[in-house]
């Protein structure tokens, strides 16, 4: 059965999606991949790979055209925001439900994690009062052994635009708590952007706020981003 039938395969959906995007003028990227992660709808990795929810293979051309506008270099901010609203409304999960992860794929807590989470929560509360007037809500922290090239990232819900969690690489904890605090504060600036309904990026607003809170505004972004779960370094 073809793409528009119930038996469409991920490979077929990915191939058709890429072909349709190319026909609509998608700019070149170093790679293209699809997924079914509900909170990371659209992202561009640090290596220049465009990642997109597989459900967009079923979207009408106007939605895909909005994606092309969103990722095209030089698109004005107002146009990008309008395009983002357009493609976020499409119910991708209806057409490509997420694949359930096996228990082997779930990262289990380790001894000492509870104490680390308590310290991170206390750090967030202190930095929130010190730099953001205590205005931001508490946020969940996650420790990841899979993050080997990124120190931390903020995940933002695609629909509501609200921050979901701050993830920190376990290897980063070995750098010492002073370094960890700098990373947490970096991600909190992104959290502040999201809570303020501002674009979550490393643009001029981010750089000004980063300098205001006393950190260097020089980190990589993994849009992700999110785009949509924007996972942002």
- Whole-number pLDDT of residue 23: 95
Question: Domain-by-domain residue ranges, the chain?
Answer: 10-99, 110-232
Beta strands in 90-220 (DSSP E): 140-144, 152-156, 163-169
Q: How far apart are the first and last CA of the chain?
A: 41
**Which string of b and e fits 127-144 if b means at least 16 CB within 10 Å?**
bbeebbeeebeebebbbb
For the stretch 124-163, pLDDT in tens is 999 999 999 999 998 889 898 887 777 888 988 877 788 8
Q: With a threshold of 0.85, does the pTM exceed it?
A: no
DSSP H or E segment with residue 29: none
Residue 171 is classified by DSSP as: G
For the stretch 23-74, pLDDT in tens is 999 999 999 999 887 767 888 888 899 999 988 988 999 999 999 999 999 9
Distance, in Å, from the CA atom of 146 to the CA atom of 51, rounded to the nearest integer, reads: 18
CATH of domain 110-232: 3.30.2010.10
Confidence of residue 99 (pLDDT cuts 50, 70, 90): low
* Secondary-structure percent of the chain, ordered helix, strand, coil, rounded to 5: 45, 15, 40
CA 181 to chain centre: 21
For the stretch 177-188, pLDDT in tens is 999 999 999 999
Distance, in Å, from the CA atom of 18 to the CA atom of 21, rounded to the nearest integer, reads: 5
């Amino acid at each position: 059965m073809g793409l528009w039938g119930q038996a469409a395969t991920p490979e077929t959906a990915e191939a058709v999606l890429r072909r349709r995007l190319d026909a609509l003028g998608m700019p070149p990227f170093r790679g293209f991949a699809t997924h079914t992660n509900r909170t990371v709808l659209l992202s561009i990795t640090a290596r220049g790979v465009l990642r997109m929810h597989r459900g967009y293979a079923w979207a009408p051309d106007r939605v895909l055209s909005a994606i092309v506008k969103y990722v095209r270099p030089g698109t004005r901010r107002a146009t990008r925001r309008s395009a983002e609203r357009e493609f976020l409304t499409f119910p991708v999960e209806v057409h490509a439900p997420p694949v359930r992860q096996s228990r082997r794929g779930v990262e289990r807590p380790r001894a000492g994690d509870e104490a680390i989470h308590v310290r991170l929560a206390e750090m967030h509360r202190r930095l929130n009062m010190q730099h953001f007037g205590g205005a931001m809500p508490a946020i969940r922290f996650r420790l990841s052994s899979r993050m080997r090239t990124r120190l931390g990232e903020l995940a933002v819900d695609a629909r509501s635009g609200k921050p979901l969690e701050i993830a920190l690489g376990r290897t980063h904890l070995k750098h010492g708590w002073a370094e960890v605090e700098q990373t947490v504060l970096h991600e909190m600036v992104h959290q502040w952007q999201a809570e303020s309904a501002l674009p979550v990026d490393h643009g001029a607003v981010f750089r000004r706020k980063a300098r205001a809170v006393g950190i260097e505004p020089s980190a990589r972004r993994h849009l992700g981003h999110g785009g949509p779960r924007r996972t942002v370094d």
